[in-house]
Amino acid sequence: MSAQLALPLEWPADPRDDEFLVTQSNERAIQQLEHWSTWPVAAVVVTGPRKSGRSLLARIFAAKAGGQLIDDAEQQKEADIFHAWNRAQETRKPVVIVAYAPPPEWAIRLPDLRSRLVASPTLRLGDPDEALMRALFERQFYRRGLDARPDLIEWLVRRIERTHVALLRAVDVLDEAVLGSRKRLSIALARATLAEAGLIDGTQSESADS
């Protein structure tokens, strides 16, 4: 089962990108954010693979906690992050720092910033579990106006690599195939299209698909 964590209504955001899907694969990170008042410092580093929703989750949390968001932290000035971290301790309004990887994997030149981030809680979003894959497929197909039947979604969940990037690539390829062929989205169409794109093993027999 999946749940949703949504942005407050007053937070400016793309209406198509305002809800974070929650399953067992990421609920621990959500629980840690919900108990931010118990953190040793008013700062958190959120990491995760591409398209995992780390920036969206950080936006939701920053909006609800009245804190500050620093996205793509590796691309920001270290002095700015340092001052934001210090300000968060003074105001007790948390700063959420989004990065691909935590220190020391994220090479930080400023020693004072490095020590502060090492002392901050780090949350990592991992690859999606089966429930999240299913929910993400349903959401993506719905947003694109594609009629994806439950049997097709189950078929995809069992075959597509369990990463956010692979899932989105599969949906993109299927969307293009439906538009180009004007055919109904089906397991047969998905099998041929995804095998041609190298997203599934094209040598699997049809009996293995049932």
Based on the fold, state whether residues 33 and 62 are members of the same structural domain.
yes
pLDDT for res 192: 96
Q: Which phi-psi region, left, alpha or beta, contains residue 173 (left: φ > 0; alpha: ψ -120 to 50)?
A: alpha
* pLDDT tens-digit series, residues 5-25: 654 434 344 444 568 899 999
Based on the fold, state whether residues 111 and 158 are members of the same structural domain.
no
Based on the fold, state whether residues 136 and 119 are members of the same structural domain.
no
On average, the pLDDT of the chain sits at 89
The pTM of this model reads 0.84
| DSSP classification of residue 206 | G
Last residue of a domain, one of 124, 155, 187: 124
pLDDT > 60? residue 126: yes
* pLDDT tens-digit series, residues 145-173: 999 999 999 999 999 999 999 999 999 99
CATH code of 96's domain: 3.40.50.300
Based on the fold, state whether residues 115 and 189 are members of the same structural domain.
no
First to last CA, the chain: 23
Last residue of a domain, one of 96, 124, 152: 124
Q: How many residues can be counted in the chain?
A: 210
pLDDT > 90? residue 124: yes
Based on the fold, state whether residues 20 and 88 are members of the same structural domain.
yes
* Sole residue written with tokens 């075959």: 159
Domain housing 111: 3-124
Based on the fold, state whether residues 139 and 72 are members of the same structural domain.
no
Based on the fold, state whether residues 9 and 105 are members of the same structural domain.
yes
How many distinct structural domains can be found in the chain?
2
pLDDT for res 19: 82
Higher pLDDT, 107 or 210: 107
Based on the fold, state whether residues 18 and 104 are members of the same structural domain.
yes
pLDDT for res 206: 55
> 3-state DSSP call for residue 124?
strand
**CB 208: neighbour CB atoms within 10 A?**
10
* pLDDT tens-digit series, residues 44-60: 999 999 999 999 999 99
Based on the fold, state whether residues 15 and 83 are members of the same structural domain.
yes
Based on the fold, state whether residues 93 and 141 are members of the same structural domain.
no
Based on the fold, state whether residues 18 and 67 are members of the same structural domain.
yes
Give percent of the chain above pLDDT 70: 88
Based on the fold, state whether residues 120 and 199 are members of the same structural domain.
no
